[in-house]
Each structure stands twice: as C-alpha cells, then as structure tokens.
Amino acid sequence: MSNKLDKAREYEVKKEMTIPEQQRPAFHLTPRCGWMNDPNGFSSYKGEYHLFYQYYPYDTVWGPMHWGHAKSKDLITWEYLPVAMAPDEEYDKDGCFSGSATELEDGRQLLIYTGVNKVEEESGEIKEYQTQCVAVGDGVNYEKFGNNPVITSEMLPEGAGKYDFRDPKVWRENGRYYMVVGNKTPDRDGQILQYVSDDGFKWTYDKTVIKNNHRFGAMWECPDYFPLEGKQILLTSPQDMLPEELEFHNGNGTLCIIGSLDENGNFCEENCQAVDYGIDFYAPQTILTKDGRRVMIGWMQNWDTCGIRRDDFPWFGQMSFPREITLHNNKLIQRPVREIENYYGKRISRQNVLISDSASLSSIEGRCIDMTINVRSTGEDLSYRKFEVRFADNGKAYSTVEYDPEQGIVKIDRKHSGSRRAIVHQRRCRVANNGGDIKLRLILDRYSMELFINDGEQVMSMVILTDIKAEGISFKATGELLMDVEMYELERK
C-alpha cells in the first residue's frame, strides 16, 4: 500500500468522526469527507452492492482524484469502506478518473479506471494523457496491475483523439470481458469505443459502437451499455451541449439512446432522449440486481452549478436515489427502487381536496418524505391554469414544483432556497398533456428533491441546501382543481 493511500485512509477516518449525521442526507450517499463526483464501479460483489466514487478527501473542491468506496445490502443504507485507490503511480499521478468493476473468474474484484498523467511537451504545453488501467482486490483492498496501463493511445482506432479517452464500463459476456469507453475526436466530436479481453488484463480494440456525428455536445463521458427488455441501451453524458427545446439543456447533460443489435452485433439507434430533465444529475451507472432489475444511480450535481454549496459543510456532492429503469413505448421509465418502502414510517393521505387558491394540509410537511400527488380538473373542461407545490418552506426560503396544464410544462425552481449565487436555479420539461391530469411523486431528503412525473415517464432532480428546519409544504392553484395526496415519512432503520 502506497504512502498516498495510507494518508488518505487515515485522514478520512479522522475527518468522518467530526461530521454530525444530521449534517448529511439521510438516504443519499455523500462522500465520507471532502469532495464527490461521478459514481464508479457500481457492482455486486460477495452478496453486497459496492459503489465507488470520484473522491478528493482533503477539501470540498475538486482535486487529484481518488476512489472513495461504500457498500450496501439494499442500495439505500451505505457503509463506508476505506478509500480504494489513490493517484500514486506515474501513469495515474494526476488522477484515478472514472471507471467500473466486475468479478473475475477466480472470485477477485476487478476495477477498471482511467489513469491521468500530465506531461509537458517540447513546446512547453501541458498535455493530459488518459489511459485505461486495472486494479484487483477483495472488496476492501486493491492492488494495481504491474503492467498498467492496459490500454494506451497506441491502441486507439484511426480518427480517435488520444487525449480525451476515459471512463471505461466493463462487463462479462459469453466467457469474455468487454468494455466501452468514451472518446473525443480531434474535431471535437464524441464517440464510444469497444474493447475486448479474454482475461480482463490484455485488451484489444473491437469496434466503434456509435459516433455522435456532432449532434449532442462534444466529448461523451461515462458510457454505460446494456440490454434491457429486448433492446440495447447506451447511456452517456455529453459535455458542452446546445439546448434542443425542452429535451436537452445547455452544458453537460445526460443522454439515453435506445436501439437494437443487428445480426452482426452492431448498435442501431431507434430513439434518443434525456435521462434527467432537472438541474443536478450526471454520469449515471447501472447494475443488474440478483432479481433481474436494472438499477441506475448518478451524481446528483452539475458541473455548471457547483457554486451552490454550504460553506459550513465538510462534504460536497451526493448520489441520486437509486432508480429502477424499464422501457415503455421505446422510452425510458424511472422509478425509485422498491426498497424505499422498507423505510416508510407514518402514512398520511388526503383525497379529493379542492384547491382554489393556496392551501396547507395538516401533517403534510417534512424534509425526508415520499409524497405522491394526483391532480385533476374539477370537471370535463380544464378548470385551472397552474398548480404549484411549495416545499422546504420556512416563510422566507422555499423551493417549488409548478405545472402548467395548458402548455404541458413542469418547472422546478430553487431560486428562493437560500442560494446567494446567480447560477442555474430553474429547469423545465414538457410532459404528456392529459387534460389537466398529472401525477407528481416527490422524494425529499434534507438537501435534495427528485421529482418522478407520471409514474417515471420523466424525472427532474435538484439539490437544495435550505436549513433542514424548513419543513413547510403547501399547494396553490390558479383556478380550481382536485388533488389527492399520499405521503410517507422516511425513517432510518
């Protein structure tokens, strides 16, 4: 074990002890201390779920990337494990970037990641070389492969860029190992490359899975590639996107491409859509559970909004609530994992509530809740023009979800949540127009809100850092409507 890894392990143990439990979310994984970004190595190993993450333990800003580590029996309650990797080799001295994990035939766990090495060229320019590397371990301790890196720029196909080449996602299939990895071409276009190996250590280039063709942003980061309900799915996170109406927004986004494989195993696109329509969601990874569910988790943050932070917090960044993903009419459906029901406490239900202005309902409040709202017009004709849910409200700070049934638009808004920074605080998405009927499910967990619309047809996520004593929830209508509410308090077991 290297001195850098020893130092990080000692530091995080001591620092974690100074962080009060109530200063963290109750049901969303945060870093043990310091900084967190992309999920890494989301996997099942020795009967438990493992999740690694991009990690800088020493400060709440991005730094030389380590791999933090946690495990769980149910995808909701996480136990911290010692930091798994530190940037302690020449080929990864400037960061152990994102990657994935699988189990080797001999029972050991294989981590595959991007090593970063900044080199000064003869011109004096600093270039960042990215290579793919592996480490092997027992679920707690990992040893980097002596012949790292296992994939270098010399193993790229013609036309690929040798500098932006990262975030391998690995899987086993038919006795072989495969990985997809993101690449940016010299003309700033994203593509996903596939490599193959017989043992997980010696890799060869297989094929180009897909080219962006200058459609969605530039570099395609953090790919995931898997079958789902007879289709083939590619998830990736494009950088530097341009907006497309309300489907894709500016900056870094998430992209789901649904397709199929032809007789030669080539990916054929059928539909493209955003993964999350909110403010804070990036770099998702998925896992196949033992009971056959495909579950996704992402970094619930946005590179363009890292300015919203609490200066008094000794951590930054959190993971999304795990989501079961399925398909319906060739579109992505996302729902909170069903294990959430094991954390249900008090249930409160109100039926056929008439809302004609602003109303608060007794006992409907809280910051750790699972609340489902069904809204409908009072008659056959549309009887309202806007519906608003206000939450995390203390009379001064609050956040909102709004629905405009005439336009078919849902908006989330945190500009009054207490932020002092003029960054992205609102996001909108277009939803199915059902004559004023809509179903909104809000998962609140102290410092976040995830909105599942119409049984997961669309999801909108955002971080809020409002004081947790702000627990007020109210409802408002322009016009009048009927509303059903069912709320469960979420309790740690």
pLDDT at 69 over 80: yes
Where in the sequence numbering do the catalytic residues fall?
38
pLDDT at 456 over 90: yes
Q: What is the 3-state secondary structure (H, E, C) of the chain?
A: CCHHHHHHHHHHHHHHCCCCHHHCCCCCCCCCCEEEEEEEEEEEECCEEEEEEEEECCCCCCCCCEEEEEEECCCCCEEEEEEEECCCCHHHCCCEEEEEEEECCCCCEEEEEEEEEEEECCCCCEEEEEEEEEEEECCCCEEECCCCCCECHHHCCCCCCCCCEEEEEEEEECCEEEEEEEEECCCCCEEEEEEEECCCCCEEEEEEEEECCCCCCCCEEEEEEEEECCEEEEEEEECCECCECCCECCECCCEEEEEEECCCCCEEEEEEEECCCCCCCEEEEEEECCCCCEEEEEECCCHHHCCCCCCCCCEECCECCCEEEEEECCEEEEEECHHHHHHEEEEEEEEEEEECCEECCCCCECCEEEEEEEEECCCCCCCEEEEEEEEEECCCCCEEEEEECCCCEEEEECCCCCCCCCCCCEEEEECCCCCCCEEEEEEEECCEEEEEECCCCEEEEEECCCCCCCCEEEEEEEECEEEEEEEEEECCC
Give me the mean pLDDT over the 475-489 stretch. Answer: 97
Is the Cβ–Cβ distance between 275 and 332 less than 8 Å?
A: yes
Write down the pLDDT at residue 203.
Answer: 98
Question: Hey, which CATH number is domain 340-490, 3.40.50.970, 2.60.120.560, 3.30.360.10, 3.40.630.30?
Answer: 2.60.120.560
Predicted model pTM: 0.97
pLDDT at 399 over 90: yes
Which of 88-92, 114-118, 155-159, 302-306 comes out lowest in average pLDDT?
A: 302-306
Mean pLDDT of the chain: 96
Write down the pLDDT at residue 433.
Answer: 86
pLDDT band at 121 (very low <50, low <70, confident <90, very high): confident
Give the CATH number of domain 3-336. 2.115.10.20
Give me the mean pLDDT over the 258-266 stretch. Answer: 96
pLDDT band at 312 (very low <50, low <70, confident <90, very high): confident
Domain boundaries, the chain: 3-336, 340-490
Write down the pLDDT at residue 311.
Answer: 83
pLDDT tens by residue, 37-55: 999 999 999 999 999 999 9
pLDDT at 1 over 80: no
Residue 357 or residue 404, greater confidence: 404
pLDDT tens by residue, 357-367: 888 898 999 99
Give me the mean pLDDT over the 177-183 stretch. Answer: 98
Write down the pLDDT at residue 120.
Answer: 82
